[in-house]
Amino acid sequence: VPDAMGPHMAIVTGLLSLPLTYFMSNDGFYFGVVPVLAEAGAAHGVSPLEIARASLAGQALHMSSPLVPAVYVLVGMA
């Protein structure tokens, strides 16, 4: 991570969470990607709590993901 982007890791995490939670499962993102981003943020002085809060931004888009079975049920009922 470039030093200039280090203090902005929470914003970067929030922006990355939108496409990543759409194309990945929640477990893969929160147990695989977020710990790596939290470690990178901690190296630049960003709290892991801020990274965790920013990672929740993608949940609004996740429900429209093709990985969510409820979408398939609704399409099948239409």
Instruction: Let me know: does 55 contact 12? Beta carbons within 8 Å.
Output: no
Instruction: Let me know: does 37 contact 13? Beta carbons within 8 Å.
Output: yes
What band does 29 get if pLDDT is binned at 50, 70 and 90? very high
Average pLDDT over residues 4-31: 90
The token duo for 2 is 């470039």
Question: How far apart are alpha carbons 11 and 17 in whole angstroms?
Answer: 10
Residue with tokens 């892991």: 48
Average pLDDT over residues 6-29: 90
Question: How far apart are alpha carbons 78 and 68 in whole angstroms?
Answer: 17
